Amino acid sequence: MRKALDLAREADLDLVEVAPQAKPPVAKLMDYGKFKYESAQKAREARKNQANTALKEIRFRLKIDEHDYETKKGHVTRFLDGGDKVKVMIMFRGREQSRPEMGVRLLNRLAEDVSELGSVESAPRVDGRNMVMVIAPAKSKSDAKAESRKATAGSKGSQAEVKSRRDREAQAKAEARPEDSSAAES
C-alpha cells in the first residue's frame, strides 16, 4: 500500500480503493475529479435515454363516422410510433350498452389497422359503461427516441445539401450579372 501511495504522489494522481474486501485490497491510480465528472456524464446520458412509457388514452363512441375513425386511428398510430401504450375506450350510451359485440368489432378493427405498429396487450373488456382495450407498441420508447434522433440528424444533412446548392446557384447568378450590366450600359 505504501508503494502505491508513493506512485500516486509521483504521478500527481489519486489512489482509489476499488475493492477493499479483496485480499490484497485492489486500488487504482486515477484522477478522481475526472472520474467523478465522467461518471456524472454517463448517469446524465442514461437518464436522458431512459424510457418513460406513458399510457395514452383515446375515446371512441360506438357510432363513429369513417373520417372521425381515421382521425382517431392517426392519433393511436402517432402514440404507438412514439413508443407509448394506448388505452382505447369506447363509451356506450343508452341502448348502445345492450350491444357490446359492436364495440368488440370496432376495437378489433382498430387493432388490425395498427397491427404493424403494436399488439393488443389486454383484450376488449367491459368496464362499467365503457369497453376498454390496451395496445402496446411493437418497439420500445428508447428505440423510438433513437430512431427519431437519426431521422432528425438525416434531415439536417439534407438541409445542408439544399443550402449549399442554393449558394452555388446564387454565386453562378452573381458571376453572370456583371456581364449583363456592362452590356446594358453600352
Domain match, 29 and 86 both: no
Q: What is the pLDDT of residues 101-153, one digit of tens each?
A: 999 999 999 999 999 998 999 999 998 899 999 999 987 666 766 676 666 66
Closest Cα to residue 131, out of 77, 169, 93? 93
The grid coordinates of residue 181 equal: 450590366
What Å distances lie between residue 137 and 39, 55, 85, CA to CA?
Answer: 32, 11, 6
pTM: 0.53
156 falls within a domain: no
DSSP 66-116: HHHHHHHHHHHHHHHHTT-EEEEEEE--GGGGG-HHHHHHHHHHHHHHTTT
pLDDT one-digit tens code per residue, 130-141: 999 999 998 766
Range of the domain at 81: 55-137
CATH number at residue 77: 3.30.110.10
